[in-house]
Amino acid sequence: MKKPLVVLGFLGTTLDRHQERDRWSKWRPTVGLCQQEDLLVARLELLVDPKFVDLADMIISDVRQVSPETEVRAHLFPLRDPWDFQEVYEQLYDFVRSYPFAPDDEDYLIHLTTGTHVGQICWFLLNEARFVPGRLLQTAPASHRGRDSNPAGRYEIIDLDLSKYERLATRFAQEQERTLDLLKGGITTRNRAFNELIGQIELVAVRSRAPILLTGPTGAGKSMLAGRIYDLRRTRAGLAGEFVEVNCATLRGDQAMSALFGHKRGAFTGAQSERPGLLKQADDGLIFLDEIGELGLDEQAMLLRALEDKSFLPLGGDKPVRSDFQLIAGTNRDLRREVASGRFRDDLLARINLWTFSLPSLAERREDLAANVDFELERFAASHRRRVRFQKEAREAFLRFARGPEARWSANFRDLNAAVTRLATLAPKGRITEACVAAEIARLQESWRDPEEPQKPGGPLSAGQRAAIDPFDLAQLDYTISVCRESRTLSEAGRTLFAVSRTKRRVTNDADRLKKYLARFDLTWDAIRKS
């Protein structure tokens, strides 16, 4: 069963007016919409300027004649200036906020044809913001060779739910995909939680100017993401100023105050000239305060005022400086604990904590490692003007290690960037070999080793024994030992280590090959497993 149709609109003080002689031959939008055979209006909500009550009475009378089943409700809508955008919008806003909409029981149309252009724009905005849960109705005369052929005219209904329009929905989906791709730096990510996080950030970046807090371990990509959010706001949200990035861990004392808020000449020893400060530099732009937990309490208090008032006092100054900046803050600390310990202001945390996004570590996104390795190789090629590629077996070996439990990635993407940079730099003739990978794995394992723990990569080998082995052989040996530790049996370890060459031999005994290789260094399977 179709729901009753309710139309809201202004009385047309020009188009709805008529002369008695052409009362029923001339198109009049308010009367015409009620004459449509396939548009049965149950109720017409007519907004009437008190100066035109007589005209409204005639229109209501005519509507009752052409459509007796239509109930017409006239609402007095006084306007000092119907072309004053603020006045019209406020009046319409008050009207729709108090109107008892019942979208489950009724369908609503907004008649855009009548009223001033300002009124039509205000109707559109209120509908687009969903204050009016309906669709737009546009009527027009049914012209035929310049003459009205039908006083009822014609109509068109426009639904602002653009997802219902197939081609538009496809274009919007493509645009959103490009936006998400921008935020992810062009990296195809498979981690579900990270993709959902990026989707939320995309919505907030475009729709909100409020501060954003990015949390997560060092090297998780907070700085890079902040820069991409700035790029998105500049293209989609009208941000005009520049992107300013600050590592708060490098700021201390007067230097922090001066760097952030600027200073006047002579404010402190060495202040030979005036300095505007980074917050002023970010006026109408975005500032990224990385490691915001490192700021002192005095700087935090001034930052809070700058956020709330968009003004602050430079060091040594007595006149406030204005700056309409947007803020992204980053931290690897738990700021709630910092508040509890007295090292961070609770009012500042409350101000920047509206949108908080926690970036996962690289170890939590191991399924994205392959895409990020390719991304790092592309970055290396762009910065060094030298393209380097993995040999197939070398790539598989590196990714197997990178995704395994031994890969800690304690510095996250900084570790990965460093590893790929070393591999690409040392690659012979632009090809990363298995030997390169084995050597890099040994470097990473050593860099992640806890200095308080005994060194384990060489298993039962002493420091003297390791020193007697060539670095080339040592890198392969350390990788072999790591595979042995991850394998359940000697045969399984052999199959992993000789996965390629074993397919080229008619007779293979991987366990025996591995046993003989270990014997070259006076090592045994049992000794490695016990080490």
Whether pLDDT at 403 is above 80: yes
Residue 508 lies inside a defined structural domain of this protein: yes
Determine the Cα angle at 254 with ends 252 and 256, to 5°.
50
Closest by Cα among 17, 22, 82 to 56: 17
Choosing from 358, 376, 395, the residue where a domain stops is 358
Determine, yes or no, domain membership for 66: yes
Residue pLDDT, tens place only, 290-310: 999 999 999 999 999 999 999
Q: What is the pLDDT of residue 61?
A: 92
Letter string b/e over residues 354-384, b meaning 16 or more CB atoms within 10 A of that residue's CB? ebebebbbbbbbbebbbbbbbbbbeebeeee
- Per-residue pLDDT of 248-296, as tens digits, reads 998 876 678 888 988 777 656 666 677 888 999 999 999 999 999 999 9
pLDDT of residue 333: 93
The one-letter code for the residue type at 29 is P
Q: Provide the pLDDT for residue 22.
A: 66
Residue 166: predicted pLDDT: 62
485 assigned to some structural domain: yes
Within a domain: 521: yes
| Owning domain of residue 283 | 170-358
Mean pLDDT, range 173-181, rounded to an integer: 66
pLDDT at 313 (0 to 100): 86
Please give the pLDDT value at position 20: 61
pLDDT of residue 21: 62
Does residue 224 sit in the same domain as residue 335?
A: yes
What pLDDT, on a 0 to 100 scale, did the predictor assign at position 251? 85
The percentage of the chain sitting over the pLDDT mark of 70, rounded to a whole number, equals 87
Structure confidence at residue 169 (pLDDT): 55
**Mean pLDDT within 124-153:** 79
pLDDT for 341 equals 94
pLDDT value at position 291? 94
**223 lies in some domain:** yes
pLDDT at 329: 96
Whether residue 459 is predicted with pLDDT greater than 70 in this model: the reply is no
**Strand extents, DSSP E, 332-464:** 355-358, 389-390, 431-432
Per-residue pLDDT band at 486 (split at 50, 70, 90): confident
Contact 84, 118 (CB under 8 A): yes
Within 8 A by CB and 6+ apart from 295, the residues are 248, 251, 256, 289, 303
Same domain, 140 and 181: no
Tell whether the model's pLDDT for residue 480 goes beyond 70: yes
220, 339: one domain: yes
Same domain, 381 and 417: yes
How much is the pLDDT for 170?
Answer: 62
CATH code for the domain of 413 = 1.10.8
**Residue-level pLDDT at 266:** 61
Flag the least confident range among 131-135, 469-473, 491-495: 469-473
Domain end among 406, 431, 448: 448
Model confidence at 461: pLDDT above 80: no
b/e code 165-202 from CB counts within 10 Å (16+ = b): eeeeeeeeeeeeeebbebbbeeeebebeebeebbeebb
Position 175 confidence tier, pLDDT thresholds 50, 70, 90: low
CATH of the domain at 74: 3.40.50.10770
- Domain match, 206 and 337 both: yes
Statement: residue 415 has pLDDT above 90: yes
What is the domain-level CATH number for residue 187? 3.40.50.300
The answer on 193 and 297 residing in a single domain is yes
Structure confidence at residue 29 (pLDDT): 92
**CA-CA distance, 416 to 399, in Å (whole number)?**
11
Task: Say if 98 falls within a structural domain.
Answer: yes
Residue 458 is predicted with a pLDDT of 46
Q: Are residues 98 and 155 in the same domain?
A: yes
388 pLDDT above the threshold of 90: yes
Does one domain contain both 421 and 310? no
pLDDT of residue 171: 62
Asked whether residue 429 falls in the same domain as residue 527, the answer is no
For residues 75 and 207, the model is more confident at 75
The per-residue DSSP string of 249-282 comes to GG--HHHHHHHHH-B-TTSSTT--S-B--HHHHT
Split into its structural domains, the chain has a count of 4
pLDDT in tens, 92-132: 999 999 999 999 899 999 999 999 999 999 999 888 888 88
165 part of a folded domain: no
Instruction: Tell me, yes or no, whether 490 and 475 share the same domain.
Output: yes
**Domain final residue pick, 401, 418, 448:** 448
Residues 352 and 368 in one domain: no
* Residues 90, 216 within the same domain: no
pLDDT digits (tens, 9 = 90+) for 421-441: 999 999 998 999 999 999 999
The pLDDT-based confidence of 147 (bands split at 50, 70, 90) is very low
Q: Round the average pLDDT of the chain to a whole number and report it.
A: 86
pLDDT at 168: 54
CA atoms 462, 466, 469, 472: torsion sign: positive
pLDDT at 268: 66
Q: What are the counts of helices (DSSP H) followed by strands (DSSP E) for the chain? A: 21, 17
Question: Is residue 137 a part of any domain in this protein?
Answer: yes
